[in-house]
């Protein structure tokens, strides 16, 4: 069935298109031209802003690395959460209560985001990521697939994570490994985290640093490659 | 009132949704599925391209740092200006005459952009920024809140600015300070500017540099951290 | 004629707007609120997802550097190709068979992309770029105008290319020169390539590197500025 075949115009808001079986409580605030795909569950008091797309079915390119997980269920948008203008939340993503997926941001399948967290404007959280509560992923930041981001982490604008040590030439037995960000750590603007690095609790990665190895708890690292300057 | 409650379909263009009291002269070029929120003022000969959102009401997350300013008025789009496909201009932003907010770009509340300036494709200009005239902020560049960008500045693709020296742990009395870019300076691709740095007139920050202190007028700086290589 | 003047609602999918003379085979999968401009040619079995814009007419800013080429013809989307949600493909772009322009990505005029290639989520490929087949340009990567990207190249997330050695102050006789990426080379996340550099076949640019000169075939370079660490 074509994606359009399952969408039907709804009188609830101008330009609203709904798939089958969408849960959409009466008090959800709806912008214009919103699209909500089949089966999506939206919590009370949520906001779906202009032109956002929620529950987009997963269609993977043949060569994509994201095909390994379980087939995603519906998207879930928590009570009081916001999906911004032009944002896309893919089927199987779960957005916690009062969290914000800001304008033009993107959250992929099987990714879970806790409560009161922010995915900044234009930021991207790939598939199979675990994000805690009160996490701030600022404008334009990039959280790669299979990352782990614990509670109260701060990711500054345009920080970038990687998960593939082979840069696209994996063979059997080489897994993608996203970074692991422990509780309360902070990642500076434009910093680059290499595959699988662990950033200790309350550590601070300076702006523009390139992190090639684990960062101890509470440490400050800066530079290319990043070196510890205080602990 | 729900944002959708204030939007009404208009016959002026296919998929056009208008809020109350929008000023939209007859000669404005309209793409498809454009949304213009209540009170927005659009100048003569402007272009609003496919799926753009203009005058989006401000809804701040409780923990956002952007709540300190005055409540924004309507968005203003200058005569002959262009808002590109999928771009979002928030309420209270002012775009100067003949300026371009390119496809998928984003401009926030209380930000003023002068005449004949460009916000590149996918670029982001946060709240409370002052941008002069003939400024080019290229594709994917990120201009943080409370930045000052004077006339004739060039910001190359994917350059990034920061304004929070604490990376998310400000306490009372610590202010956000965006960079200050003086007349005619140039910022290279992927460069990172730390909070509050001042880039002197006609200075040049090399691609990929991380600028941690002020740059003298006319100087060239490169590297991580950036050092002066010529004056 | 206004862009909206040429768009007409179509019954084929909810919110679909079509320009004159669009070729759109019966088996094309259509999302909601899709816009396809006049003359666009879409191949059999292609997917146009929610809110994408295909064949957007070119309107250049007076100061844009992209005005030098031939007037673009229509956009062409190859058989089995996908244009993601919120993506924009400009008139004159050609997307090869089974290639993917992912959600919120952008491809400009006179750019050709081969078969089975990927333009990642939010990535940008500027005008007049030649991209081969089986190329992966990952999330948020930026491919500047007049770049050349040969077959089987891998560009990691948020890598950035430049083409203007003067950063916006070109005079007569100075040309924009995009990087040249030879067959099978790999560019790490957040790497910056300076104007006109050539990356040799099967070379590997490390994450966060700033490449200021040509990279030999098969070499590995890292750092700022990038230096050869193995050949």
Q: Give, for all 231 residues of chain A, the pLDDT tens digit.
A: 455 568 999 999 999 999 999 999 999 999 999 999 999 999 999 999 999 999 999 976 555 655 555 678 999 999 999 999 999 999 999 999 999 999 999 999 999 999 999 999 999 999 999 999 999 999 999 999 999 999 999 999 999 999 998 888 888 888 899 999 999 999 999 999 999 999 999 999 999 999 999 999 999 999 999 999 998
The residue with tokens 């965006």 is B178
Among candidate residues C172, C185, C188, the one with its CA nearest the CA of residue C222? C188
> Using alpha carbons only, how large is chain B's radius of gyration in Å?
18
pLDDT above 60 (res C150): yes
Question: What pLDDT, on a 0 to 100 scale, did the predictor assign at position A1?
Answer: 44
Residues constituting chain B: 231
Both structure tokens of A210: 């390139």
Percent of chain B exceeding pLDDT 90 equals 85
Residue range B11-68, pLDDT digits in tens: 999 999 999 999 999 999 999 999 999 999 999 999 999 999 999 999 765 555 555 5
Residue A85: other Cβ atoms inside 10 A = 29
Range in B59-73, B100-114, C42-56 with the lowest mean pLDDT: B59-73
Instruction: Judge whether residue B231 has pLDDT over 70.
Output: yes
CA distance A170 to A65: 10
The ipTM is 0.94
- On whether the CB atoms of residues B125 and B131 are closer than 8 A, the answer is yes
**Peptide linkage before B14 cis (omega within 30 of 0):** no
> Higher-confidence residue: C167 or A33?
A33
Taking the Cβ of residue A8 and every Cβ of chain C, the question of whether any pair is shorter than 8 Å is answered with yes
Helices (H), chain C: none
Tell me if chain A has a CB within 8 Å of the CB of C14: yes
Q: Which site among A121, A189, A191 would you substitute to test the B interface, given the most B Cβ atoms closer than 10 Å to its Cβ?
A: A189
Task: Select the residue of A140, A186, A208 nearest B168 (Cβ to Cβ).
Answer: A186
Tokens of B202: 């006609």
- Tell me: pLDDT of B112 over 70: yes
Test B139 with C140 for CB contact under 8 angstroms.
no
pLDDT of residue B1 exceeding 50: no
Given an 8 Å threshold on Cβ–Cβ distance, is A189 in contact with B192?
yes
pLDDT digits (tens, 9 = 90+) for C8-25: 999 999 999 999 999 999
Q: Which chains touch C (3 or more CB pairs under 8 A)?
A: A, B
Whole-angstrom Cα distance, residue B47 to residue A2? Answer: 33
Nearest to B203 by CA among B177, B224, B179, B173: B179
Contact C168 B190 (CB under 8 A): no
> How far, CA to CA in Å, does A61 sit from each of B80, B188, C83, C151?
41, 34, 12, 17
Residue-level pLDDT at C77 = 98
> Which of B12, B122, B208 faces C122 most closely, judged by CB atoms?
B122
Q: What is the pLDDT of residues B125-142, one digit of tens each?
A: 999 999 999 999 999 999
Percent of chain C with pLDDT over 90: 85
Give the pLDDT of residue B153: 98
Give yes or no for C62 touching B (CB within 8 A): yes
Q: Which residues of B touch A15 (CB under 8 A)?
A: 9, 15, 17, 33
A191, B224 Cβ separation under 8 angstroms:
no
- Interchain contact, A164 vs C156, CB within 8 Å: yes
């Amino acid at each position: 069935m074509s994606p359009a075949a399952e969408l039907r115009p709804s009188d609830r808001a101008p330009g609203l298109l709904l798939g089958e079986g969408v849960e959409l409580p009466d008090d959800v605030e709806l912008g214009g031209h919103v699209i909500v795909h089949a089966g999506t569950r939206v919590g009370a008091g949520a906001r779906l802003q202009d032109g956002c797309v929620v529950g987009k079915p997963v269609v993977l390119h043949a060569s994509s690395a994201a095909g390994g997980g379980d087939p995603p269920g519906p998207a879930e948008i928590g009570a009081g959460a916001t999906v911004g203008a032009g944002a896309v939340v893919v089927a199987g993503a779960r957005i916690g209560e009062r969290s914000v997926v800001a304008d033009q941001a993107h959250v992929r399948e099987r990714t879970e985001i806790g409560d009161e967290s922010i995915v900044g404007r234009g930021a991207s959280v790939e598939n199979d990521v675990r994000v805690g509560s009160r996490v701030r992923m600022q404008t334009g930041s990039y959280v790669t697939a299979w990352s782990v981001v614990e509670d109260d982490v701060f990711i500054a604008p345009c920080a970038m994570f990687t998960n593939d040590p082979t840069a696209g030439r994996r063979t059997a037995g080489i897994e993608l490994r996203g970074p692991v960000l422990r509780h309360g750590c902070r990642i500076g603007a434009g910093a680059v985290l290499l595959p699988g690095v662990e950033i200790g609790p309350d550590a601070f990665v300076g702006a523009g640093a390139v992190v090639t190895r684990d960062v101890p708890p509470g440490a400050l690292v800066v530079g290319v490659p990043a070196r510890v300057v205080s602990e």
